[in-house]
Amino acid sequence: MKFKKTILSLMAAGMMISPTLAGAKENGKNISFSDLPKTESHYKEVMYFANKGTITGYGNGIFKPYQDISRQHVAVILARELNLPVPKDIKKVLSIYSDVSTKHDYAKEIAAVTQAGIYKGNNGKFNPNTNITREQLATVFNRGFDLAQRDAKKVKINLKNVDPSHKDSVQVFANLGLTVKLNDFEPRNNLKRAQFASFLYRTLEVLGEFDNEGNTGGTGNDGGGDKGTDDKGTDDKDKGTDIDRVYFPSMYLDLSLVEGDTQKVDLLADLKNNGGTHIINDKATFNMSNSSVAAYKDGVITAKKAGETTLTATYQGQKAEIRIRVLDKQGMKLNWYGFKQHMYVGDSQSFTLSIRDLNDNKVRPIEDGELNSVTFEIADPSIISIANGKITALKEGQTKVTVKYQGVETSEVIQVRNDLEELKGFRIEAALNYELFKNSPTKHLVLDAWIDAGIGMTENEIEQALEEAYNSDKPVVRENAAFYYEKEKGIMQVRYLRQEK
């Protein structure tokens, strides 16, 4: 399937809160993001689209690479990339959803992907503001780009924790090398903005949307895991002129490691005439420009000491390189953030970990696939649990958590409160100063956002419920939402019906 390139419209809405398209320059200056250093594993993919004017941040030099991306924004991106026609009767197409009307900001795009069979909703809802998960993205990409039609050797991947409706799509992702998470795809984890850029770039790359002039831009890191192929490179077909190209996987071209780290990286060769992809670690020659910084043996890079080096592989006259930066363990700071330190029993939330080099303040995020190397020491494990990148509140109380990673550590205190019985089953969407909110000139914009997010109420119904809660000592509960005014704090809690993922 040949795709019409509409890159200049790609990703404009999917990577920011307000879907406005900005160019590669702002006020005549080259665009850059203060929270996206060059050492960031997804840097080149994000900047590839940014420099084409197809991706912007938040207007203040911030990109928020590890913020979740929503279903509606992915829908907009696919509608534009695939150049999908807008249905003649948008209202009829959207009638299958109770939470998207023709007045929705992205009504045309959501109708287009629905008509094309890319999105199908869930229980009569589109859930536009719900974050898209990794397994859902695999299915959406598979439908949108016809990935199952691509010829590829079947790769062994663990699908035990993948929802049955997404297993085929995740298998296709593995076959095409779009993921290296073969032991655990982490299917229900939300996809981050930077990760989405890398998945999109790699998908277009697989589809042949780029030329062969080395403009791959690829450092997008899917978070680690095994190499996405089970081909051991023992076939003799890779001799002579049958080789199309020799390369390292794009997610490893710029690699940041901490002293003592190891990273499995295979050298690959694509054969001409759809001859497949082969691992050729045992056939190529390798040279490390500074062997005191890192070593490479049997497909594994070992970080030895702080510094920079380049690994060059040569096979049949073709070369491939990896730029490696090793960080000093003693000069590192571990950051644990992106979560609320006050929780209610039953709540669950994700978090972010990163390592900062105190010498130059460069930051390397700790990817999901590295969490098995992180230790969480919980002073009272009866209060919270931490597993699979999520904190779950178990019972009322507070506990200290010490996080350790490669000799560096940090700690935080998490407090858990026992929620009111009437509010169990609802998750907090907003906590606001009600006195200021009810007189705010922008109040209706917030109410509209809640309506779009699926609160299931009109503006008047929301305002009545808020006022009722304000004058009551008990929560006001509706079918899909609950409102509770904490008088001692002056804070109004707005909650949505909890959705299981």
Nearest to 324 by CA among 128, 70, 43, 41: 41
The pLDDT value recorded for residue 451 is 84
The pLDDT value recorded for residue 20 is 27
C-alpha R_g of the chain = 24
Residue 232 predicted with pLDDT over 50: no
Structural domain count, the chain: 4
Asked if residue 22 and residue 159 are part of one domain, the reply reads: yes
Domain boundary residue among 295, 312, 327? 327
Domain boundary residue among 297, 312, 327? 327
Asked if residue 448 and residue 402 are part of one domain, the reply reads: no
Domain boundary residue among 299, 327, 355? 327
pTM of the model: 0.43
* 341-361 residue pLDDT tens: 878 787 888 888 887 766 555
Contacts of 485 (CB under 8 A, 6+ apart): 434, 469, 470, 472, 491, 492, 493
The pLDDT value recorded for residue 235 is 33
Q: How many CB atoms lie within 10 A of CB 238?
A: 23
The pLDDT value recorded for residue 136 is 92
Mean pLDDT calculated for residue range 104-121: 88
Nearest to 116 by CA among 92, 90, 144: 144
* 66-86 residue pLDDT tens: 888 889 888 887 887 777 888
Asked if residue 254 and residue 385 are part of one domain, the reply reads: no
Q: Is 1 a member of any domain?
A: no
Distance CA 378, CA 417 (A): 17
For the ranges 16-25, 43-52, 272-281, 286-295, which has the lowest average pLDDT? 16-25
Q: How many CB atoms lie within 10 A of CB 464?
A: 15
Asked if residue 147 and residue 23 are part of one domain, the reply reads: yes
The pLDDT value recorded for residue 169 is 92
The pLDDT value recorded for residue 314 is 92
Domain with residue 367: its CATH number is 2.60.40.3440
Of 25 and 469, which is predicted with more confidence?
469
Asked if residue 453 and residue 344 are part of one domain, the reply reads: no
Q: Is 196 a member of any domain?
A: yes
Q: Is 219 a member of any domain?
A: no
CA distances from 369 to 186, 353, 387, 462, 495 (A): 9, 12, 13, 42, 32
Distance CA 39, CA 308 (A): 12
Domain with residue 282: its CATH number is 2.60.40.1080
Mean pLDDT calculated for residue range 52-69: 73
Q: Is 298 a member of any domain?
A: yes
Asked if residue 125 and residue 18 are part of one domain, the reply reads: yes
Mean pLDDT calculated for residue range 288-313: 90
Q: Is 313 a member of any domain?
A: yes
Mean pLDDT calculated for residue range 384-410: 88
The helix-helix angle for 459-470 and 443-452 (nearest 10°) equals 110
Cβ atoms 157, 168 nearer than 8 A: no
- Most confident by average pLDDT, 51-60, 138-147, 403-412: 138-147
Asked if residue 99 and residue 24 are part of one domain, the reply reads: yes
Q: Quote the tokens at residue 170.
A: 């995740």
Distance CA 132, CA 71 (A): 5
The pLDDT value recorded for residue 150 is 78
Strands (E), 144-261: 243-247, 254-258
For CA atoms 440, 444, 448, 450, the dihedral sign is positive
Of 369 and 435, which is predicted with more confidence?
435
Asked if residue 314 and residue 346 are part of one domain, the reply reads: no
Distance CA 93, CA 401 (A): 49
pLDDT band at 251 (very low <50, low <70, confident <90, very high): low
Asked if residue 432 and residue 404 are part of one domain, the reply reads: no
For the ranges 57-71, 168-182, 370-384, which has the lowest average pLDDT? 57-71
CB-hemisphere CA count at 13 Å for 402?
A: 7
Asked if residue 360 and residue 317 are part of one domain, the reply reads: no
Nearest to 257 by CA among 228, 296, 226, 287: 296
Q: Is 17 a member of any domain?
A: yes
Q: Quote the tokens at residue 364.
A: 């390397």
Residue 135 predicted with pLDDT over 90: yes
Of 197 and 189, which is predicted with more confidence?
189
Distance CA 129, CA 370 (A): 28
The pLDDT value recorded for residue 335 is 82
Asked if residue 383 and residue 368 are part of one domain, the reply reads: yes
Tell me what percent of the residues of the chain surpass a pLDDT of 70: 80
Q: Is 225 a member of any domain?
A: no
Distance CA 14, CA 196 (A): 9
Q: Quote the tokens at residue 135.
A: 């397994």
Asked if residue 376 and residue 484 are part of one domain, the reply reads: no
Q: Is 280 a member of any domain?
A: yes
Calculate ∠ Cα 328-334-338, nearest 5°: 145
Distance CA 282, CA 421 (A): 63
The pLDDT value recorded for residue 11 is 29
- Domain of residue 40 covers 7-206
